[in-house]
Structure 1
Amino acid sequence: MVFADFSFAKVPPIYFGAGKRKLIPTWLKERNASCLLLVIGGKSLQTTGHLAQIEASLKQVGISYEILHCAGEPTPDFIDQTCHTYRDQGIQAVIGIGGGSVVDAGKAISAMLPYTNSIVDHLEGVGKGIPHGGDKVPYLAVPTTSGTGSEVTKNAVISEVGDQGFKKSIRHENLIPDGVIIDSELLVTCPAQVTAACGLDAFTQLLEPYLSPTASPLSDALAWSGLTALGPNLLAACGSGASDLAVREAMAYGSLLSGICLANAGLGIVHGLASPLGGFFPIPHGVVCGTLLAAANETNWTALKQRATNDIAIDKMAKLGEFLDGTPGKDRGYYGDALCRILWQWTETLNIPKLGEYGVQASDLERIVGRTKNRNNPITLTSTEIRSLVESRI
């Protein structure tokens, strides 16, 4: 085999397995951190008793802490106000325990605590274009949903919803978390609707890098490992297997690898659309990905068959379709169609909302398509194709 040149982003230390949250005090002690900002989401940590356990373990080793609740996707004002409040409080470490929004919020706070300016100055495409300097407070990511893969990436997504809204990132190599704890015991109470949206987000973040023109043999190997772990467990995680630690670990493993893959091979049209849709409308990121996944891949499959019959992406889609369908002895046309069919079945079975439920109308299509980045897709789609796939989910 002849290998094309490629590079690969660093991956933080990962502690994976049931009960690994018990390592939090050790991680802090290794960094001589005695004053902590703990960023959490809704009420699940409290209602399960996990927050009380974590607090008790911190008190036992003499670590003081402040708790910050992040109720939704972090906004510039939320990050700026938080940093203003805690900048002079001697915070020596930040831990984000929650879904993707919480992990991103913690990452952004750790990045901005050493600075006095607004995070907007560093956001791609909307601020002053000032590169982040790379200084930060040590950060530990502890995801409680299996979706964004933000626990292993160098960027934090910040949102502002409205007519001039955006979803943009602050980005620097040093913002990759200093550690990741993935504890399946923290995942079992994730609601079915959230599990479904996050799971489809993670699946998208595995499939798009797998099909990306910038994929490498290493990113392909990781993407395939994640797809074959997550795909067979998605429906179970949203239903009868919700409390099964093995099912939850398979989902978390796939999500973890999705973050590594997107950082190294990029993302396609679904995420190109997620940015304007999430900026203009109050749509959770996982819902955007979940509702567009089948339509986008059907559009890609059709376009590839029409305009790029020798593209390796056709073989990759067929390979995944064969794995998920399980019927032996068919040709790649059958398996590519099977992949699209299965993705549509998931969308319907999991009852993923349509975009219209969040206020998207046909009259919004032009501005959505106009703000869509069409890169790292296996084939360049036309504006008409992009418009049609979005319209199909209104």
Structure 2
Amino acid sequence: MFLDFNLSSIPHIIFGAGRLNEIYELIPQFGNNVLYVIGRSSLKKSGKWDEIEYAMHKNSINFSEISVNGEPTPILVDESVKKFRNQKIDLVVGIGGGSVIDAGKAISAMLPKMDTIKNYLEGVGNKTHDGRKIPYIAVPTTSGTGSEATKNAVITEVGIGGFKKSLRHDNLIPNYAIIDPQLVLSCPRSVSSSCGMDAFTQLLEGFVSPKANPITDELAKSGIKQMKDAIVHISSEKASDITVRTSMAYGSLISGIVLANAGLGVVHGFASSIGSLFNIPHGVVCGTLLAESTKMNINRLEQLGTKGENGLLKYAIVGVLINGRESFENINVPFYCSILVKTLENWTKQLNIDRLSKYGVTTADIDNIIDRTGLKNNPVHLKREDMNEILINRI
């Protein structure tokens, strides 16, 4: 077999229940002036912020905080940087969901700069970030985006002329990622459900991507194995089971590593375009479109004959994993592709993933959405009518 691939760096990963406490041992290596980027209310409601404040005072560490509500915007990042640029911040710590992690990542990257983040966003600005940043520690409190393991921060501006674009550089990968499943126990079930579907989407799209390699394949399979049984429990009474949350946290982390190296497909293409037009959670877009997009991809791969065999085999392998089989020998490809699609459809129903119409998306918006949607790293080319069908079925 001829192999030819790249593999990006990952953060120093600290994974396990209760391991957030190790952050106080890490901080001194960076300095004594810390900026915390947190969510608007969830961390404080859970009581964890009180514990963090107590520990910071106990360890004589100076700190400030900034709260993030929703996906980070250029205005939020620019105003945060302006406020703290002259305070000689030694370390930025992001504790929250994917939006908070991205906001912290962007703020750490822009604190050394003197201009707006828009100038450095892909497809928006005309500058390339040089990688200089304030050290950054990412601590996720949801299991979804895997942003704790990626080198980009997604910045959103919603509306006509809006965008959902990345600030990206290899050096923007967090210095440390602390994944403590105990922090996810208080995450609302509806949020857990959409985030979980986002993580699974990233594992699946990365696995079937043309850019996938043997390492990302094995990582994706390990994440799928962990998530396949846990995902249906995150909206049930078992959501408070630490083993369920640990499996989801692992799957989310691995999905970030996989997407950073293998890329993503049409579901995330839709998520980017829809997210730039409507105030809709990223995980909801992924969760609501995953089954339909997977079904369409499989149908189009089947039409390619022998050229589609590799893509179909990969989808079938995921079906095998979900079905609990360990052997990939003599796979009935059509059968296990069908198992995969049916399972994704069942998850969408079981987890009560909303349709796009709940957030104001109508059939009149479809053309604009498709115009903005990229198919980079999708395993098969989709025609405009294919994308139209996917959207109509979930509006």
Q: Which of 102, 105, 120 pairs up with 1:104?
A: 102
Paired residue secondary structure (1:38): strand
The residue identity in structure 1 corresponding to 2:21 is K
After superposition, residues 174-189 of structure 1 pair within 5 angstroms as: 174-189=171-186
The residue identity in structure 1 corresponding to 2:291 is A
2: CA distance, partners of 1:358 / 1:256:
28
1:55 corresponds to: 53
Paired residue secondary structure (1:87): helix
2:317 corresponds to: 319
Is residue 2:300 matched to residue 1:299? Answer: no
1:373 corresponds to: 374
Q: CA deviation at 1:383?
A: 1.1
Q: CA deviation at 1:246?
A: 1.0
Paired residue secondary structure (1:88): helix
Of 93-102 and 56-65, more deviation after overlay is shown by 56-65
After superposition, residues 278-297 of structure 1 pair within 5 angstroms as: 278-297=275-294
1:361 corresponds to: 362
Is residue 2:163 matched to residue 1:166? Answer: yes
2: CA distance, partners of 1:84 / 1:375:
35
1: CA distance, partners of 2:182 / 2:40:
17
1:21 corresponds to: 20
Cα pair distance change 1:164/1:185, threshold 3 Å: same
Q: Is the 8 A contact 2:72 2:99 kept in 1?
A: yes
The residue identity in structure 2 corresponding to 1:324 is I
Aligned length: 391
2: CA distance, partners of 1:96 / 1:183:
13
Is residue 2:40 matched to residue 1:39? Answer: no
Is residue 2:259 matched to residue 1:258? Answer: no
Q: CA deviation at 1:353?
A: 0.7
Q: Deviations over 1:147-200 (max 9, x none)?
A: 001001110000001011110000011100000000111010111100000000
Is residue 2:245 matched to residue 1:248? Answer: yes
Of 308-317 and 130-139, more deviation after overlay is shown by 308-317
2:208 corresponds to: 211
Paired residue secondary structure (2:37): strand
Q: Is the 8 A contact 2:316 2:331 kept in 1?
A: no
Paired residue secondary structure (2:23): helix
The residue identity in structure 2 corresponding to 1:359 is G
1: CA distance, partners of 2:2 / 2:214:
8
1: CA distance, partners of 2:305 / 2:34:
53
Q: Deviations over 1:33-83 (max 9, x none)?
A: 111110110323222221111111111121111111101101000000010
The residue identity in structure 2 corresponding to 1:15 is I
Q: CA deviation at 1:326?
A: 4.7
Q: Is the 8 A contact 2:224 2:321 kept in 1?
A: no
Identity of aligned residues (%): 48
2:220 corresponds to: 223
Paired residue secondary structure (2:252): helix
2:122 corresponds to: 124
Q: Deviations over 1:256-312 (max 9, x none)?
A: 000000011110000111111000111110001000000000001111111244421
Q: CA deviation at 1:27?
A: 1.1
Q: CA deviation at 1:330?
A: 7.3
Q: Is the 8 A contact 2:142 2:192 kept in 1?
A: yes
The residue identity in structure 1 corresponding to 2:59 is V
**How much is the aligned-residue C-alpha RMSD, in angstroms?**
1.3
Paired residue secondary structure (2:159): coil
Paired residue secondary structure (1:283): coil
1: CA distance, partners of 2:57 / 2:317:
51
1: CA distance, partners of 2:20 / 2:227:
22
Unaligned runs of 5+ in 1: none
Is residue 2:389 matched to residue 1:388? Answer: yes
The residue identity in structure 1 corresponding to 2:39 is G
1:332 corresponds to: 333
Is residue 2:132 matched to residue 1:139? Answer: no
Q: CA deviation at 1:367?
A: 1.1
Q: Using structure 1 for the length normalisation, give the TM-score.
A: 0.97
